[in-house]
Structure formats: C-alpha cells, structure tokens
Amino acid sequence: MGRLFGTDGARGVANSELTCELAMQIGRAAAMVLSVGERKRPRVLIGADTRISSEMLQSAISAGLCSVGADVLVLGVLPTPAVAFLVQKYGYDAGIMISASHNPCEYNGIKIFKSDGYKLPDELEEKIEEIILDGTLVPDVKIGGEVGRIRQSDMPRFDYIEHLLSTVEEDFSGIKIALDCANGSASFTAPELFTELGADFEIISAVPNGININRGCGSTHPEALQKFVADNKCQAGFAFDGDADRLIAVDEKGNIVDGDKIVALCACYLKNQGRLKNNTAVVTVMSNMGFHNYCQKHGIAAELTAVGDRYVLERMLEKGCSIGGEQSGHVIFLDYASTGDGQLTAIQLLQILKRSGKTLSELADEIEIYPQITVNVRVSQIGKVRCSADAEIKKAVQSAEKELNGSGRVLVRVSGTEPLIRVMVEGKNEEQIKRLANEIASVVKERLI
C-alpha cells in the first residue's frame, strides 16, 4: 500500500485529506506518467459519482491535467466500470473516476485507469507519488495554445449501456425485480438498461442529492431492498454501491446472495457452458468455506489472492481465468470487462436465473455458507503498520485458532481504503466465533489505538 494510493486508488475525506490541491497534483503527475512516449497532447476522460464533492474534485483534477497540456473529456455521472470500458473504446490515454465507492459522502477518491481499461499497477502509482511527494519530476506547465481543453459529451452513457446489453441474449420480460441504486451512479444508467432488457422492475434509492449516496442503502446496507423484494413479491433484487462496481443480490424470500454465492453460481454456469477458462474461479482470502465446498463439489478450482479486486484481476490475468470476485460483491467477468461491474453482474445472474428455470433461492441454497463475523477496529496509520508484527495480536489469533481446532479460521487484515483493522472469524458455531472475534478485536484495540 502506497503513500497516497491504497488498494483502490487515492481516498480520504474530501477537502480535508483529499484536497483540491492534491487532486490537481494527481492530475498533473498522472498526465506526466501516462503520456510518456505517447501523443504530444495526452487525452484523459473523467467520470464521477453523485457525492457532493465529486464536481469540485473533478474540476481540480481537470485543471491539473489541462495545465500540463492534456485534453479532458468529462463524462458526467457514470459508474466506475463505464470509465474502464470507455477509455479503451475511445482510445484515450487514461481514464479517471472520482468516487469513494461504498464509503459515506464525506469521503471521495481518485481511481486511475490505463488506456487498456485496467487500473494502474503499483509501480505507476508509485511514480505518481514520487512526483508529488518527492519532486522527482517538475511538471511541464503549458501556456498559450498548448494548454489543454475540456469538453463534455452525453454519448458515453449510451455507449456503455449498449455494451452491457451486448453481453446477454435473453429477453427478461416477465421477470419482476427490484433495484437499489444506492443514490449513486447506477441511478443514471440502471433505469434505461433494465427497460431495454424488458424486465419488470422497481427502483429504490435512486434520487441522489449529493449527500445521501450509500446512506442506509446500496450493497453495504441492503436491508431496505430485502424488505422491498419480499413485500412486493419480486423474483430478485439487486443492490449496487455508490459507483456501481459492486453487486449484492437478494432472493425472492428477501435473503442475501453475496459475492461468494454470485461467483460460485456464475462459475458453475460458465463451466456448464464450456466457458470457464482453466476451470478456475479467482477469489480472495475472505471467501467463505462454503464457497470452496461448492466449487469442489462441481469440480471447479479456486485461486486465492489478497483482499482487493485489483489483486483478483492480477491473478485472473496471470492464470488466464474468466471469472473472479470478492465476497463484498466485486465480480469480474474478464470476457466483458476489465474491472468489477455491478450492473453487468446483475444481468449475467438474471440470465442464469431465466435459463435455469429455478428461483434464486433454489440456486443460492445449494451453497452452504458458514457463519462469519467481522469486527472493525479503528486505528491510527501507525497502528496499521504495526499490526502484522504485534506479538500480542499474534498470540490472540493463535489461541482462537487452537480453540477452533480446524473447524474454522481467523483472518486479521489491514483495510486498504480506511483506517481500520478488520478481524474476521469463521466457523460453524456463531456464538463461538462472535466471542473469539470480539476477544481478538479487544487486543487489537489495546495494542494499536
């Protein structure tokens, strides 16, 4: 994890940790790093989510780009995966997304994509950090006619929706679903997408006002969607996060279908279609033991990575796999996208639902999920660094693992996007794992705050 960039771009409290000045510097440095050996006037497209600070930061980063001679195409409010798709489709040098994904409105972030639609690798993020923090290169500020231009277009939204439509063959008429847009980016794309697909749909949390993004809604707070689906007798519900790169599904009974179940069901479907490359799904160390049992039953191999969709993607590219994802709902279909895409995942799952003739609960119940408790402990930045080497925390983990005696597991990890240590315990006995998670979290709190 770098000095400015975490596992999912640069992120912090907008106008405090992530300032306009820093956004401008990131724009300048990104143009310098990504335009080496390219055209004289690099071209960068920028999308944003609906949070109140997004336009402010978009203006700042655009100013930074233009000041070093880059031309900017402002996409307006779009999902993160739209930026990743469009930068490649339009042949731009880079794509930037202004979003803090699933975080509350006071946070914001900057995600940068290369011309091929993939997120920046660690080495390029480090070069940007070195320019900003160490002054390794001095920005070549332009004047006169060499200053970059900014333009806007509404066409990118339609091009992205057309791409999503091209990934499925089914007409979804007759299927009743509910959509939770998290008052975020999907509010601007989901209505048209699902109308074109012929689905009978209802939408909640799709009236963004700048401060209600992810507030009590979306993939991190699906409770309202669960109730809505059950009360309105929908066949499924789909909850996106603020920038629509995640999906949490809800079955017709109002039960959660998380990323583990979604990846498992989609991997099995692809295998039956002869399209599961290398017969492997890529998941993180957070994936439930029930996921692995299901894959083993269906003859599917599982590759494990560190937490973070960028690490899932890296392993997918390395191993030549077609699907991977996280429990949190990042699911990557590499045949169609270079990053997680909540709406793409929703329509792939709908296609499986229609072709199977089963209900979503029937499909999802084939995967037995073990109870899993996660306790988040807020710590300082120094605490995050010290966590892995602390002897008392190690001792607490070893004690818990001894008590579980092979019937569960413990994972203590540093968040890549927030000042948190996450303590996860998994096992068959929910009371036991809750107690063990809280005991370890108490030690973390004593040692690292």
On whether the CB atoms of residues 245 and 340 are closer than 8 A, the answer is yes
* pLDDT at position 39: 56
Q: Please tell me the least confidently modeled range out of 38-47, 146-155, 220-229, 278-287.
A: 38-47
Fold for domain 5-153? Alpha-D-Glucose-1,6-Bisphosphate; Chain A, domain 3 (3.40.120)
Q: What is the mean pLDDT of residues 209-221?
A: 97
Predicted confidence (pLDDT) per residue in 343-369, tens digit: 999 999 999 999 999 999 999 999 999
Calpha distance 168→266 (Å, rounded): 13
Cα(417)–Cα(103) distance, rounded to whole angstroms?
9
CA 276 – CA 279 distance, rounded (Å): 5
Least confident of 195-209, 321-335, 393-407: 393-407
- The first and second tokens of residue 262, run together, are 């979604």
Q: Lowest mean pLDDT of 32-36, 239-243, 277-281, name the range.
A: 32-36
Question: What pTM value is reported for the model?
Answer: 0.90
Helices 391-404 and 430-448, interaxial angle, to 10°? 170
CATH of 372-448, one of 3.40.250.10, 3.40.50.150, 3.40.50.300, 3.30.310.50: 3.30.310.50
**CB contact at 8 A, 327 and 288:** yes
Q: Would you say residue 37 has pLDDT above 60? A: no
Residue 112, beta-bridge partner list: 96
Is residue 410 within 8 Å of residue 425, measured between CB atoms? yes
Q: Span 47-75, mean pLDDT?
A: 97
Region 375-384: mean pLDDT is 88
pLDDT computed for residue 93 by the predictor: 93
What is the number of other CB atoms lying within 10 angstroms of the CB of residue 395? 12
Kindly indicate the confidence band of residue 36, based on its pLDDT and cuts at 50, 70 and 90. Answer: low
Give me the chain's average pLDDT, please: 94
SS (H, E, C) the chain: CCCCEEECEEEEEECCCECHHHHHHHHHHHHHHHCCCCCCCCEEEEEECCCCCHHHHHHHHHHHHHHCCCEEEEEEECCHHHHHHHHHHCCCCEEEEECCCCCCCCEEEEEEEECCCCECCHHHHHHHHHHHHHCCCCCCCCCHHHCCCEEECCHHHHHHHHHHHCCCCCCCCCCEEEEECCCCHHHHCHHHHHHHCCCEEEEECCCCCCCCCCCCCCCCCCHHHHHHHHHCCCCEEEEECCCCCCEEEEECCCCEECHHHHHHHHHHHHHHCCCCHHHEEEEECCCCHHHHHHHHHCCCEEEEECCCHHHHHHHHHHHCCCEEECCCCCEEECCCCCCCCHHHHHHHHHHHHHHHCCCHHHHHCCCCCCCEEEEEEECCHHHHHHHHHCHHHHHHHHHHHHHHCCCEEEEEEECCCCCEEEEEEEECCHHHHHHHHHHHHHHHHHHHC
Confidence of residue 41 (pLDDT cuts 50, 70, 90): confident
Q: What is the C-alpha to C-alpha distance for residues 414 and 316, in angstroms, rounded to an integer? A: 23
- pLDDT > 70: what percent of the chain? 98
d(CA 258, CA 100): 21
C-alpha closest to that of 148 among 45, 217, 9: 45
Q: According to the model, what pLDDT value does residue 99 have?
A: 97
Query: In this structure, are strands 94-98 and 43-48 parallel, antiparallel, or unpaired?
Result: parallel
User: Mean pLDDT across the stretch 42-57?
Assistant: 97
Judge if 5-153 and 372-448 fold alike in CATH terms: no
Q: What is the pLDDT of residues 395-431, one digit of tens each?
A: 999 999 999 988 889 999 988 767 899 999 999 899 9
Q: Note the pLDDT of residue 415.
A: 83
CA dihedral 361, 364, 370, 371 (to 10 degrees): -50
pLDDT tens sequence across 222-259? 999 999 999 999 999 999 999 999 999 999 999 999 99
Residues assigned a catalytic role: 101
CATH code for the part of the protein at 159-364:
3.40.120.10
Neighbours of 334 (CB within 10 A): 17
Domain ranges of the chain: 5-153, 159-364, 372-448
Query: How far is Cα 211 from Cα 106, in angstroms, rounded to an integer?
Result: 8
- Does residue 111 surpass a pLDDT of 60? yes
